[in-house]
Amino acid sequence: MTKCCNECRAHDDRTAKLDEIITRYKDTRGSLIQVLHEAQELYGYLPFEVQVYISKKMDIPLAEIYGVVSFYTAFSIYPKGEYQIKVCIGTACYVKGAGDILDKFRMKLSIDVGECTDDGKFSLDSCRCLGSCGLAPVVMVNGKVYAKVTPDQVDDIIAEYSEQKKGACT
């Protein structure tokens, strides 16, 4: 059957890959986290429909799946932006004002932690220690480290990526 568009083809491809993942782990006890990790790699995040699909196929209650997804910070129920901003709120960064930096990003981007801007350009996450405590407070954007960041620098960091081409959430 001819697919109506590339989006439909991509949807079918991903569903087929998700089926392969589920088939591989279905009979292995305690494999749910591995399935969720691989599903997140496939989709970029774990949309509700994917959680429902895994629940049905693996015969695991949806509440249990949602419980795991919401417990571990490695999982996200929101799409990620083209530019993934991580603000470290580990102890060293927090005592040097990381909370104010996070608040400024939230205000400037009009999103909360874990969310993505409507244009798909930015997503915002907090994390516990990026391993660069001597540079606290630390912000990371797609792997690039910003050291000793102040709230006043938030505008510049956003502007650095805003100039670049428009993105879409993955």
Residue 90 near ligand FES by CB under 6 A? yes
Locate all alpha helices (DSSP H) within 26-126, ordered by sequence: 32-43, 48-58, 62-71, 91-95, 98-109
CA distance 74 to 37: 8
Nearer to ligand FES among residue 81 and residue 90 (C-beta): 90
Point out which residues pair with 146 in neighbouring strands: 139
Using the contact rule CB under 6 A, the part of the chain among 36-44, 69-77, 90-98, 152-160 near ligand FES is 90-98
Using the contact rule CB under 6 A, the part of the chain among 86-94, 106-114, 143-151, 160-168 near ligand FES is 86-94
Give Rg (Cα) of the chain.
Answer: 18
Please identify which residue in 32, 65, 69, 93 interacts with ligand FES, judged by CB under 6 A. 93
CA atoms within 13 A on the CB side of 10: 6
Q: How far is the CB of 156 from ligand FES (least distance, A)?
A: 20
Q: How far is the CB of 164 from ligand FES (least distance, A)?
A: 26
Nearest-5° Cα angle at 89, 86 to 93: 110
Residue 87 near ligand FES by CB under 6 A? no
Size of residue set near ligand FES by CB under 6 A: 12
The count of other CB atoms within 10 Å of the CB of residue 149 is: 25
Please identify which residue in 35, 50, 102, 138 interacts with ligand FES, judged by CB under 6 A. 138
Q: How far is the CB of 115 from ligand FES (least distance, A)?
A: 22
CA dihedral 7, 13, 16, 21 (to 10 degrees): -110
Residues in contact with ligand FES by CB under 6 A are 88, 90-93, 129-133, 136, 138
